[in-house]
Structure 1
Amino acid sequence: MRNLFLLIFLTLFLSCKEDVLPKPKAYLSLEYPKKIYKNLEIYRPYSFNILNNTSVIDEKNNWITIKYPALKASIDITYRPVENNLKELLTEAEKLVYKHAVKAEQIIPKDFVNPKKRVFGSLYEITGNAASNLQFHVTDSTNNFIKGSLYFYTKPNYDSILPAVDYIKTDILELIETLEWQN
């Protein structure tokens, strides 16, 4: 019995040479291509700059989809003419934003006003595991209204897609800042 106790004691004493530490968390090392913008090549009642390495899908009713194949994402842009219904269009756009409040941690609005180009709108950054993390609407308040939403073709995991959201947010800001109405 004494030998057994001595054997167990020596085994435990000699086997514990180093503390076991958990592995540190790994961080993604994502590298995105340098941004080069070009003007939207299809005719619409609006024009703006888009990222060179995106593809544009021509939809009916002056709608378009800007695809980011490498990121498995798209910006869906809908166009509606303003026909004495600006209040309804703005209400509908905000309802679509706040529909994500269930999954959102926070909704951060940013307003845009450019009276010289008649561009007025808002960008909403939706943090958390919402289906769309960036949404915006822009209008000239008399004739044109655009609504855009960013979607990823994957289950929402905000921590994982945050670098891609930040990358595309710059493109949406470029879109809004270079927007010009054609009519």
Structure 2
Amino acid sequence: MKYLLAIFISILIISCGSDPIPKPKSYLKLQYPEKSYQKLNTECPYTFEFSKYANISLTENCWAKIEYPELKATIHITYRPIENNLNEILKEVEKLTFEHTVKADVINSVPYENFQKKVYGKLYNVEGNVATNVQFRVTDSVKHVLSGALYFYVKPNYDSILPAVKYVEKDIMHLVETLEWK
């Protein structure tokens, strides 16, 4: 019995030490690869540069999917030829963007114009817990309209996916800036 009491007191004395120190706050550290791009070469009536860290697939009608497997994200791109229906196409694309008004906190649009390449459009940044936080549309105003939307394969939680949204948004801006019509 004295032996057990001695062990108990020894454990009690050893376990008592200095005052506890709280652990510092931890922060999420996200590291994305450096930006690097490759040119899309297809029979489609457009070409652009896209991230080397993404996979691209095209359909017969020149619609595209740019997938980011590491981010669980995809940019869905739709191509539409203009057949005297430019306003109708642009209204349809804009309607899809503003359907997010119910859940969106803010919808910002940034115009884009490149007169030399004849590329005119808008980039939409949709803030809030919505299905697509970044959308774009570009046209040459005569023959072509290209529109796209960024989707993540997770439940939309804007605060959580914001760093990934900003990372892919830069790739979308690069895509638009390097877009050329054939």
TM-score normalized by structure 1? 0.85
Superposed counterparts of 1:40-79, under 5 Å: 40-79=40-79
1:28 deviates by 1.4
CA distance in 2 between partners of 1:84 and 1:115 (Å): 21
4+ residue runs over 2 A deviation = 23-27
Matches within 5 A, 1:97-112: 97-112=97-112
Per-residue CA deviations over 1:69-92 (Å, capped at 9, x if unaligned) read 000000000000011100001100
Residues 1:125 and 1:90: Cα distance change in structure 2 (over 3 Å) = same
Quote the residue 1:176 is aligned against: 176
Partner of 2:151: 151
Gap regions ≥5 residues in structure 1: 1-17
Letter in 2 for 1:44: C
The offset of 1:27, in angstroms, is 2.8
For the aligned residue pairs, the C-alpha RMSD in angstroms reads 1.7
CA offset at residue 43 of structure 1?
A: 2.8
1:15-34 superposed matches below 5 A: 26-34=26-34
Q: How many correspondences in the alignment? A: 164
Aligned-pair CA distance for 1:25: 5.9
Q: Distance in 2 between matches of 1:155 and 1:25?
A: 26
Secondary structure of 1:133's counterpart equals strand
Q: Per-residue CA shift, 1:102-153, capped at 9, x if unaligned?
A: 1100000000011111000000000000000000000000000001000000
| Structure 1 match to 2:128 | 128
How far is the alpha carbon of 1:24 from its aligned partner?
7.2
2:86 matches 1:86: yes
Deviation at 1:58, TM superposition (A): 1.7
Deviations 1:26-80 (CA, angstroms, capped at 9, x unpaired): 4310000111101013331100000011101122311010000000000000000
- Aligned with 2:132: secondary structure? coil
**Which residue type is aligned with residue 76 of structure 1?**
H
2:61 partner SS: helix
Q: How far apart in 2 are the matches of 1:27 and 1:88?
A: 47
Quote the Cα distance in structure 1 between the aligned partners of 2:103 and 2:170. 23
Q: Secondary structure at the match of 1:172?
A: helix
**Distance in structure 2 (CA, Å) of the matches to 1:113 and 1:162:** 26
TM-score with structure 2 length normalisation? 0.86
